[in-house]
Amino acid sequence: MRNSIIAWVLQSIKGIGLFSQNKLIENFGSLENIYKYYKEFRKEYKTEMEWELHRAFQDINEELWENKWNFYQEKGIEIINIDDIKYPYLLKLIPDAPLILYCQGQMPDNSYKHLSIIGTRLSSEYASRVLEKFIKEWRGLSLNIISGLAQGVDGIAHEEAIKNDLPTFAVLGHGLQTVFPAHHRKLAQNIIEGGGGLITEFEWGVFPDRANFPLRNRIVAGLSQAVLVVESPQKGGSMITAQLAFSYNRDVIALPGSIFQKNFSGNHLLIKNEMAHLVSEAQDILKVVGIKRMNNQPKSKQMPLYLELNEEEKMIIDTLHKRGRLHVDDLTHISKMNSSKLASVLLTLEMNGMIKTVPGKLYELL
C-alpha cells in the first residue's frame, strides 16, 4: 500500500507528467527513494518541481489515501504500482509507463510471452477467419493475448483466446465502474472467468472519452513483445498503437490483405515502410514473439555442446533453449547476475556464434 500511496501523490502533483515521473523513478531507483529524498529535502530548491515534490511528500494525508485504497479493495480491484512485482516488466520499460494500474481478475503472468492483437472495429470475415485459425493453433502455449475490448478485431481476439484456453487481457480506456462498449459486458466477465483480466490506468469514475484511447493504446503496445495488426486502414487507433510499438522497439507484425480493400491499407503501409513483419502463418508470429515451436512439433535444434562453456554460459544457453527469445531484464532476473557480469556472458556467447541480439534488448539462440 505504501508505494501505491507514494505513486498517487506523485501523480497528483501538477506540472509533473508521466515522462518526468518515470525519469525520477529511473534516477532514484524506486518510489520509496523519491519519497525519502524529497520528504527530508534540506537543500536550496533549484527548481519549482523540487519544491512541489517536497511540499507534496511533507503534507501527505495518510487517512485520505488509505480510504482510497480501501475503496478499491472493497470493489475487488487490485492496485498495482510500478514497483510491484506484479507490474508487467515490459510495460515498465516504456518512457511514459503508468505509475498505477487497476485490475479486475488477474494480471498477465510475466513468465509468459505477450502478444497484442489490434485492428479495425469494422473487421471483415477474413480477419475473423484468420484469428480463429491462428489462435486455435496457439492453444496450450505459454502465450497471453492482449487487446482493447473494442468492437471488431479486439473482441474477436478475446473471444477466440477464451475458446482456446489462452489467458486474455483487455486494456480499457476508462475506469472499472463500466464496460465500453456496453454489449461487451458479458465478454469482459468471460475474460475474468477464463483466467485473464481487465486492466486500466484510469481511476474509478472515469468514463470513456475520445482522449483516453490513445493513452490506452500505448499500454496495449507496451505490454507485449509484439503487436499483430490484423486489419487496419491508414488512419485510426490501430496505426497509432503500431507506431507506438515501433517506437518502443517492439516487433510489429502485419497480415497482408487485398490491395482493393481500404481496411488493409494500413497493414500494407507498415510492411512497405519496413515497420512490420509480413506474416502468413501462426508459426511465423510465434517466431517473432519468441516461442520456438508448437507443442506438438519436434524440437528443431540440437542443444549446443557444453565442453567449452562455463556454468554461467551454460545456464544462459539452457534458459534460451527452454524459454525462447527473452528480454535482457528476464535474463537478469533468472540468472541472478549483475548487469555487467551478464553483459560479459552474453557478449561471449554472441561472439562464439551461439546467440544473437534482436531489436528491443532481446536475445535468442542461433
- pLDDT, tens only, 237-295: 999 999 999 999 999 999 998 888 898 999 999 999 999 999 989 999 998 998 865 44
Domain ranges of the chain: 2-76, 106-289, 311-365
Two domains, one topology: 106-289 and 311-365:
no
Is 106-289 a CATH 3.40.50.970 domain? no
- pLDDT, tens only, 332-365: 888 888 888 888 888 888 877 788 887 677 888 8
- pLDDT, tens only, 139-175: 999 999 999 999 999 999 999 999 999 999 999 999 9
- Average pLDDT, whole number, for the chain? 89
State the pLDDT at residue 215: 95
Global pTM exceeds 0.75? yes
State the pLDDT at residue 45: 63
State the pLDDT at residue 207: 94
- pLDDT, tens only, 172-213: 999 999 999 999 999 999 999 999 999 999 999 999 998 999
- Give me the CATH topology for the region 311-365: Arc Repressor Mutant, subunit A (1.10.10)
Three state DSSP letters for the chain = CHHHHHHHHHHHCCCCCHHHHHHHHHHHCCHHHHHHHHHCCCCCCCCHHHHHHHHHHHCCCHHHHHHHHHHHHHCCCEEEECCCCCCCHHHHCCCCCCCEEEEEECCCCCCCEEEEEEECCCCCHHHHHHHHHHHHHCCCCCEEEEECCCCCHHHHHHHHHHHCCCCEEEECCCCCCCCCCHHHHHHHHHHHHCCCEEEECCCCCCCCCCCHHHHHHHHHHHCCCEEEEEECCCCCHHHHHHHHHHHCCCEEEECCCCCCCHHHHHHHHHHHCCCCEECCCHHHHHHHHCCCCCCCCCCCCCCCCCCCCCHHHHHHHHHHHHHCCEEHHHHHHHHCCCHHHHHHHHHHHHHCCCEEEECCCEEEEC
pLDDT for residue 299 is more than 60: no
pLDDT band, residue 59 (cuts 50/70/90): confident
pLDDT band, residue 42 (cuts 50/70/90): low
pLDDT band, residue 135 (cuts 50/70/90): very high
State the pLDDT at residue 43: 64
